Amino acid sequence: MIARELVTLPSYAEEVAQGLTTQPKSLPCKLFYDATGSALFEEITRLPEYYLTRTELEILRERADEMASRLGTDVTVVELGAGTAVKTCTLLESLSRRQIRVRYYPVDISRAALHQAKERVESRCRQILVRPVVADFSDGFEFLRSIPDKKLVAYLGSSIGNFDPAAAVAMLAEINRQMTPRDMLLLGTDLVKAKSMLSAAYDDSEGVTEQFNKNILVRLNRELFADFDLESFRHVALWNPRRSRMEIYLESLRTQTVDLPLLQLRVHFAKGERMHTENSYKYTVATAKCMLERSGYVLTHTWFDQHKWFALHLANVQASA
């Protein structure tokens, strides 16, 4: 017996209840990222099948000088969702060869990750001034206004791909509203490619992505006292060419009932029923350009890796009419 009145419900409780009582069932992908989920995602980025992270890093390494020359001087780098700042170092180093002082504002929800980011960048490049910003993007992007210099706002890692197109445009437009006409955006998008390669990236042979996906259930068991049986669900990753996205599900392997006492819910799953947990949109240059234009930017340049698996787009803020 759980005394409900003594337990504070997590902020996501309402969303979970909604997702489990609507057909088809779903769970919000933001639930992936507790401490275990973040560590599992780090592991995913090192998997041979998950080409995204290393390919983006390759572009940044090979094109950093070219990027720096396009950015001009006196630019401050603000990286949204910076994590431990593994990717940005090379670009910061190239910038610091061109200007006396480079300022770097890594922005993340995780204080621990930001601490590591500061240590990493400062140890590699002494002339870079690191100013970590702890922020939750669901509270908006007003903190960008308090950074006075000409800014490069970097949003890397294909994180934009986890938003549906309308939400992606809304978010990029919100960022845009906090930018000045001399600021720029550097956006990383994964590109449309062969189904076999995409499927492998989201259903790796070691089962790390499966563990990452099921970690949502582990979290609901721990935080909502739910009784999901992990063995009774399987990880499913499907390419949807019509919507240009990978779709991630947890599929029920049997007819079963799950209790979520804190939500006063008993949820029935049919055998083979799929619960949606994440989308990962894949872009072409044309669809990325369109998304940027609809959000108030002008695409000025796109860099690719040698196979054209991933793209980094540089965009200016559209001049207002």
Binding site for ligand AVI (CB under 6 A): 44, 52, 157-159, 161-162, 202, 209, 278, 280
Residue 12 vs residues 15, 21, 254, 262: alpha-carbon distances, Å: 5, 15, 27, 12
Please report how close the Cβ of residue 182 comes to ligand AVI at its closest, in angstroms.
29
In angstroms and rounded to an integer, the radius of gyration of the C-alpha atoms of the chain is 21
Q: CB-wise, 158 or 176, nearer to ligand AVI?
A: 158
Please report how close the Cβ of residue 72 comes to ligand AVI at its closest, in angstroms.
29
Q: CB-wise, 16 or 246, nearer to ligand AVI?
A: 246
Q: Is the distance from CB of 288 to CB of 299 less than 8 angstroms?
A: yes
Q: CB-wise, 212 or 267, nearer to ligand AVI?
A: 212
- Describe the crossing of helices 51-71 and 35-45 by its angle, rounded to 10 degrees: 80
Nearest to 161 by CA among 14, 5, 317, 288: 288
Q: CB-wise, 103 or 235, nearer to ligand AVI?
A: 235
Please report how close the Cβ of residue 109 comes to ligand AVI at its closest, in angstroms.
13
Q: CB-wise, 29 or 290, nearer to ligand AVI?
A: 29
Please report how close the Cβ of residue 19 comes to ligand AVI at its closest, in angstroms.
17
Please report how close the Cβ of residue 208 comes to ligand AVI at its closest, in angstroms.
9
Q: Is the distance from CB of 46 to CB of 86 less than 8 angstroms?
A: no
Please report how close the Cβ of residue 249 comes to ligand AVI at its closest, in angstroms.
12
Q: CB-wise, 106 or 157, nearer to ligand AVI?
A: 157
CA 39/CA 60 separation, integer angstroms: 23
CA atoms within 13 A on the CB side of 17: 13
